[in-house]
Amino acid sequence: MTEPRTYRLMLLILGVVFAFLYIPISVLVGLSFNEGGLPTAWTGFSVKWYGALAGNSDILKAAGNTLIVALFSTVLSTLLGTLLAVGVEIRRRNGKWLETIIFAPMIIPDIVLAIALLSMFSLLGVKMGLHTIVVSHVVFNLAFVCAVVRARLKSFDWSIVEASADLGASTMTTLYRIVIPVLMPAIIAGALLAFTLSVDEFIIAFFTAGAGRSSITLPMQIFAMIRFGVTPEINALATIVMSVSVVALALSQRLNKGGLPGQ
Amino acid sequence: MTEPRTYRLMLLILGVVFAFLYIPISVLVGLSFNEGGLPTAWTGFSVKWYGALAGNSDILKAAGNTLIVALFSTVLSTLLGTLLAVGVEIRRRNGKWLETIIFAPMIIPDIVLAIALLSMFSLLGVKMGLHTIVVSHVVFNLAFVCAVVRARLKSFDWSIVEASADLGASTMTTLYRIVIPVLMPAIIAGALLAFTLSVDEFIIAFFTAGAGRSSITLPMQIFAMIRFGVTPEINALATIVMSVSVVALALSQRLNKGGLPGQ
Amino acid sequence: MTQAFLSIQNVEKYFATVRAVAGVSLDIRENEFFALLGASGSGKTTLLRMLAGFEDISGGDILIEGTSIAKLPPNQRPVNLMFQSYALFPHMTVAQNIAYGLEMEKLPKNEVTARVADILKVIQLGHLAGRKPDQLSGGQRQRVALARALVKRPKVLLLDEPLGALDKKLRSEMQLELKRLQHQFGITFIMVTHDQEEALVMADRIAIMKDGALLQVGPPKEIYELPRSRFAADFIGVMNFLPVTANSGAFQARDGSPITATHVNDAVGTGAAVAAVRPERLSIGEGGENRLSGTVSAIAYHGLDLLLHITTELSDTPVIARMTADVADRHRPETGQPIALSWSARDTHIFPA
Amino acid sequence: MTQAFLSIQNVEKYFATVRAVAGVSLDIRENEFFALLGASGSGKTTLLRMLAGFEDISGGDILIEGTSIAKLPPNQRPVNLMFQSYALFPHMTVAQNIAYGLEMEKLPKNEVTARVADILKVIQLGHLAGRKPDQLSGGQRQRVALARALVKRPKVLLLDEPLGALDKKLRSEMQLELKRLQHQFGITFIMVTHDQEEALVMADRIAIMKDGALLQVGPPKEIYELPRSRFAADFIGVMNFLPVTANSGAFQARDGSPITATHVNDAVGTGAAVAAVRPERLSIGEGGENRLSGTVSAIAYHGLDLLLHITTELSDTPVIARMTADVADRHRPETGQPIALSWSARDTHIFPA
């Protein structure tokens, strides 16, 4: 398994495949700092396209909306997701069906979720706006937060809860002084994941934002702008969105080694 | 922690939150079987909207495209992802940087990946179509397949590889008779995950499909149709897409307990 | 009669329809070091968890100094448990772990500090007060867990396999250390263990549990030397069993030779029975009332002692005889050699077959 | 001189700059049961893995019947390894696991089938041939792993902690069973273990490893009774150490009393040294050349034997004396009692302090 030839083949595949990923990403980031803004020539380093973003009130509005949606949906989904994870773990005997119900949203395609929520809000006659995006993102994020906290709970030593009771603590004291502090890294990791998912999410936000431009978010803004081709502003915006995601998820992973979905 | 009051509160939260998820999904599925097709009244069970889909050549074309893209990208990303996972595990000493490179695509927002790939194909002057979607989906899926196989490799007992060599097997024999059979459930689980991700994926396909309608996929078709409101055909189409996802991921999870991202 | 310190009265436990503990009655004395000894599934841990309050009892009662504690939740019982996994709080330092139980009693801060410092001195970990549990060795963690429970000055300390997670050398050191601490604190200890040697070395009295019931209760010497059932004889230490035929109080081995025994179990009737004798009670040559001869089939050298495996007509499995090093020096046994052993009637037990 | 069967010649192993094995030379005889005994980190496992071919050697050579195998990959060595984890193939049945190694030799199908059936009979698992490894008990898995290696008829079978994963009772059964199988197959066994009792019971010869080097090589009795270093004396069994002062071949204990010893280590000079004696060699009363008196501070009852802990002026730690049950019956020792012990010069070792 460790013969040099096999390993060299592996490296080659790695190289080719990731060239397809990292070259375009690097080009995108590079161009966002290119004075001239054109892919044809490097005319010098500049942050002028970032400056241009700051001068664009549509984009500032979209960034503000994204932040509002992300913050509210993160706080709500973290609270609810943590409670659910702990609740499910305690009532493990209730078994499979509860878990299936909770994790199903991770399986349901985003576009189907988007249509379903849109129909729901229409049927109920709810006027759509940032609040409906927040509710939708809570529904969308909840399962992910719950999954991160549950992953941590799998290695949680429940005997410390019994030890706390044995030493004279009430249920509430045990919750505040033992359970929550021990779970805190996973809770924060879950929150950071929820934040990133919300910032990056396009299709659910697109469907549940309602008509007009007042509730537009950053991915929607990028989507709208791209009809006119990939401009330097889009590159700058994409670089910012990517940076936020990468930083938040790197933090999340650090806090919660092995508990990040898919790792 | 097990007091009835806490538990009842938990159940209530669970109920409210998941009502927001499951009621709209149920309504969507229900309406797709409603003779009249309108949310206002149930006029009888019917599969006529599914029949209507079968008579719509645009939709059939999109379904065909989706299948082609999903199959090719699944086969390629499963092959490459498995090789990578095994390679990385063997060269664990090369450490963190290799892992970061491989899993970064899971962190990069889809919309940024979409823009980067679009720019790349434009720069290279590649004519876009189904083939560019396939390449893009391979890049997008690879990290997920790799993650699923790696999760299984974490509990893989490498001493069986040494035992195989000790008993006289060559590296290739060990690979075919020991490593691949033991990893097979995870490889199939990874393939099913890749298939679902590819079927459901909207924004990368949208950006890398090129102009015109020839390379349209199902999520793109739904997106196009929804401009005219949520029609019974959309409900039927969404139900089909969701069923494919749910079945594939349920299978995947069964095959690979604990190895599915986020579980 | 004076009342027992801790009285377990006909306690039962059902999990759904499965009976885990079957009507156990047991009186434990003040300051006693008591061991519940049994294999996994014998109900010993369930009984311990009922004493701690983590399982409610399906029937019977538990009293401490005459007062029932059966209905009290765990945080109100004058009883503390040292968990097998130690269950230290990973986000707290050693000192914070130990202080936690005292803070729950709402003691003044300076008293908490003083008592934590005192017990840290006793367990000789004062210099590690600021460490987190994952920075401690297994033996240190064990002592912190013990201190955390002892600092509450419980009436009864429960210990769940207290030495199970330690390695061999450390375990035999901690056996005597735990016993010393129990004397020093004057607290009743109830220990659950599956390790018979641990129970023999540490406990004042041992209860052997099987299938949720008590099989035999007594001091270690009595348990080892006067087992009251074949199971107990086999479970503790090594025991040779020879099939015999019983006939109005006389016993015959397979080859017809008589076996005399001081300890005949009440359940022995007429017909098939077994005679039991420990390997260390067999000696070379004549000297005891009972005799056997055979061939040495294997010699297991343990340094300290030899164990001779002797094939004999008296039973299907080899008879095991212990030979101390000085005896071995004189006799120099070899595989294949014929050998004659004898043992006395007072070391012989008869059980039903 | 005839050539050795397996010859390890000045073998070294460096991991980066860390020396794991330091110039080990060792000749192992045909059909020998050899044990490499050491703590974790002593280099014993690295040495075993170099014999199997999983680590290449940094220096020296390994020969079997005069031919170097040092450069051969694992799949071409006439050597098989039984892994500590057993390393059974989880997707294959017991029979398929055992057949795998024979299939690699491209043997005809009917011969493979016959040899698998034969070895299944030997390990008495014929009825489980169709089971997967996860449907077997620990003891059964161990026997399948052994059969899978033995069926290849290797010249040397390497065993990595072969009984490490088994529970106590099963382990002592399997000790003699393994030894019996080794005799039956006539194959050289090299076992790595950290358990000194396992090495004493099973091996024909033992090598004690420490820091990558061999400390002492010899048969179990020699290793136990004639340790050539203080480390070896302490590592195997229990040993009492008494500080003494050496003066031109005469030794004085702390209280001035003379200690006579047959076994004086070459490295002992003038000044501080230690006298060593095993607990089972101390006896009550006068009788040996050496004497000590003290107070019984603790009695550890092990059933079979008592261990007396005796505080004495001769050393800081208590002296441990083993008392067999029949002696204890006569003397009835009690804590706090004064006691006088003696032992003979031929059981006394002197090591450098």
Please judge whether D83 and B165 are an interchain contact, meaning their C-beta atoms are less than 8 angstroms apart: no
Q: Are D152 and B168 in contact (CB under 8 A)?
A: yes
Between CA B109 and CA A200 the distance in angstroms is: 6
Say if the Cβ atoms of A169 and C148 lie within 8 Å: no
Residue A103 confidence (pLDDT) above 80 = no
> Looking at the DSSP assignment, which residues form a beta bridge with residue C301?
C306
Kindly write down the DSSP assignment for every residue of B34-96, as one continuous string: BTT--TT----B--HHHHHHHT-HHHHHHHHHHHHHHHHHHHHHHHHHHHHHHHHHHTGGG-H
pLDDT tens across B120-170, in order? 888 888 899 999 999 999 989 988 999 899 888 888 899 999 999 999 999
Task: Look at residue D287 and tell me whether its pLDDT is greater than 70.
Answer: yes
Cα–Cα distance, C181 to C82 (Å, whole number): 14
Distance CA A148, CA B229 (A): 36
Q: What is the pLDDT of residues D10-27, one digit of tens each?
A: 999 999 889 999 999 999
- Residue C223 is predicted with a pLDDT of 95
Shortest alpha-carbon distance between residue C51 and chain D (Å) = 28
Integer Cα distance of A262 and A246 in angstroms: 16
Q: D touches which chains (3+ CB pairs under 8 A)?
A: B, C
Residue of D nearest to B173 (CA): D104
Chain B contact set for A177 (CB, 8 A): none
> What six digits make up the tokens of D151?
């069926």
DSSP state at residue B175:
I
In angstroms, the separation between the Cα of residue A225 and the nearest Cα of chain C is: 49
Which has more pLDDT, D88 or A125?
D88
Assembly ipTM: 0.81
B46 and B35 Cβ atoms separated by less than 8 Å? yes
Which residues on D lie below 8 Å from C196 (Cβ)?
Answer: 303
What share of chain C has pLDDT > 90, as a percent?
Answer: 70
Segment 93-132 of chain B within 8 Å of chain D by CB: none
Distance to chain B for A134, nearest Cα, Å: 12
CA pair distance D115, C227, nearest whole angstrom: 47
Size of interface C-D (CB pairs under 8 A): 69
User: Å from C241 to nearest chain D CA?
Assistant: 16
Contact assignment for A17 to B139 by CB distance below 8 Å: yes
Distance to chain D for B92, nearest Cα, Å: 16
Whether residue D13 contacts residue D55, with contact meaning beta carbons closer than 8 Å, is answered with yes
Residue A9 clears pLDDT 80, i.e. is over it? no
State residue B263's pLDDT score. Answer: 31
Which chain C residues contact residue A182 at CB under 8 A?
A: 89-91
Task: With beta carbons under 8 A apart, name residues in chain D contacting C197.
Answer: 302-303
3-state class of A63 per DSSP?
A: helix
Contact C303 D179 (CB under 8 A): no
Reported as a pLDDT band with limits 50, 70 and 90, residue B257 is low
- CA–CA distance, A181 with A169 (Å, rounded to integer): 15
User: CA C267 to CA C186: how far, in whole Å?
Assistant: 40
For chain D positions 53-72, those within 8 Å of chain B (CB to CB) are 53-54
Place of tokens 């377990």: C8
pLDDT for position A263 = 31
> Which pLDDT score, from 0 to 100, does residue A213 have?
82
Record: contact D200-C175, CB cut-off 8 A:
no
Q: State mean pLDDT over C257-279.
A: 92
pLDDT value of position D288:
86
Averaged pLDDT, A171-177: 90
Amino acid D118: pLDDT = 94
Kind of pairing, strands C319-324 and C338-343?
unpaired
- Partners of C214 in the β-ladder: C209
CB count in 10 Å sphere of residue B212: 9
The burial class, CB within 10 Å (0-12 / 13-18 / 19+), for C58 is middle
Give the model's confidence band at C325: pLDDT under 50 very low, under 70 low, under 90 confident, else very high. confident
pLDDT at D294 over 60: yes
Q: How many CB atoms lie within 10 A of CB B236?
A: 25
Strands C59-64 and C33-37: unpaired
Interface of B with D in 166-185 (CB under 8 A): 166-170, 173, 177-178, 181-182
CB D24 within 8 A of CB D10: yes
Asked if C266 and C284 touch (Cβ cutoff 8 Å), the reply is no
Grouping H, G, I as helix, E, B as strand and the rest as coil, residue C166 is coil
Indicate the residue of C176, C197, C224 with minimum beta-carbon distance to D298.
C176
Residue numbers in C near D303 (CB within 8 A): 196-197, 200, 220, 224, 236-237
Average confidence (pLDDT) over C46-73: 94
Chain A environment of B84 (Cβ under 8 Å): 10, 13-14
Q: Does residue B259 carry a pLDDT above 50?
A: no
* Residue-wise pLDDT tens digits, A145-169: 998 998 888 888 999 999 999 999 9
Task: Determine contact, residues B98/B88, Cβ cutoff 8 Å.
Answer: yes
Each residue's pLDDT tens digit, C7-55: 999 999 999 889 999 999 999 999 999 999 999 889 999 999 999 999 9
Q: What share of chain A is helix, strand, coil (3-state, %, to 5)?
A: 80, 0, 20
**What does R_g of chain A's alpha carbons equal in angstroms?**
22
CA–CA separation, D279 vs D323, rounded Å? 8
Which DSSP category does D286 fall into? Answer: S
Say which residue, B37 or B221, is predicted with more confidence.
B221
Q: How far is CA D278 from CA C8, C137, D225, D232, in A?
A: 44, 29, 9, 13
HSE-CB at D273 with a 13 A cutoff on CA atoms is 29
Q: Residue C11: phi, psi to the nearest 5?
A: -75, 135
Q: Which of A18, A112, A171 sits opposite B238 (nearest CB)?
A: A112
What is the per-residue pLDDT for A257?
58
Spell out the residues 6+ positions from residue C144 whose beta carbon is closer than 8 angstroms to its own.
Answer: C86, C88, C94, C97, C98, C123, C125, C133, C136
Query: If you average pLDDT over residues B200-207, what whole number do you get?
Result: 93
Mean pLDDT of chain C: 92
- The pLDDT assigned to D1 comes to 46
Indicate if the alpha-carbon torsion angle A221, A224, A230, A231 is positive or negative: negative
Q: Band the pLDDT of B5: cuts 50, 70, 90.
A: low
Rounded Cα–Cα distance for residues D6 and D188 (Å): 9
Please name the member of C52, C90, C91 whose beta carbon is closest to the beta carbon of A166: C52
Interface test with D, best of B160, B164, B167 (most D CBs within 10 A): B167
| Chain B: closest CA distance from residue A261 (Å) | 3
| φ, ψ at D205 (rounded to 5°) | -135, 155
For each of the domains in chain D, give its residue range(s) and CATH number, in order of start: 6-225 (3.40.50.300), 238-352 (2.40.50.140)
Residue recorded with tokens 């008590």: C214
Average confidence (pLDDT) over A4-14: 70
Closest CA to C345 of C271, C244, C275: C275
Average pLDDT over residues B231-235: 88
Cross-chain CB nearest to B166 (options D81, D88, D89): D81
C38 is written with which tokens? 């049994």
Q: Across the interface, do D52 and B166 touch by the CB < 8 Å criterion?
A: yes
Show which subunits contact A, needing at least 3 CB pairs below 8 angstroms: B, C
Residue C258 has pLDDT above 80, yes or no: yes
Is the pLDDT score of C218 beyond 70? Answer: yes
- With CB atoms and an 8 Å threshold, state whether D237 touches C303: yes
Closest to D328 measured CA to CA, from D310, D304, D294: D304
Using a CB-CB cut-off of 8 Å, the residues of chain B touching A225 are none
Which residues in chain B are closer than 8 Å to A1, comparing Cβ atoms?
86, 90, 161, 171, 174-175, 179
Q: How confident is the model at residue A261 (pLDDT cuts 50, 70, 90)?
A: very low
Q: What is the pLDDT of residue D106?
A: 95
Rg, Å, chain D Cα set: 24
Tell me the two tokens of residue D189: 């066994």
Beta bridge pairs of residue D28? D6
Q: Do B203 and A203 touch (CB under 8 A)?
A: yes
CB contact under 8 A, C89 and A170: no
C-alpha C231/C-alpha C242 separation (Å) is: 15
> Which residues of B fall within a CB distance of 8 Å from A250?
107
C81 vs A contacts (CB less than 8 Å): 162-163, 166
* Model pLDDT, residue B3: 52
Confidence band (pLDDT; 50, 70, 90) for C109?
very high
**If you ran DSSP here, which 8-state letter would residue A43 be given?**
-
Predicted confidence band of residue A8 (pLDDT cuts 50, 70, 90): confident
pLDDT (mean) for D136-141: 92
Chains B and D touch (3+ CB pairs under 8 A): yes
Would an 8 Å CB–CB cutoff place B159 in contact with chain D?
A: yes
**Whole-structure pTM over 0.95, yes or no?**
no
Whether residue A239 contacts residue A182, with contact meaning beta carbons closer than 8 Å, is answered with no
Lowest-confidence range among C326-335, D182-191, D201-210?
A: C326-335
Cβ-Cβ pairs closer than 8 A, A with B, add up to: 239
Alpha-helix residue ranges (DSSP H) falling in B91-158: 96-107, 110-124, 130-154
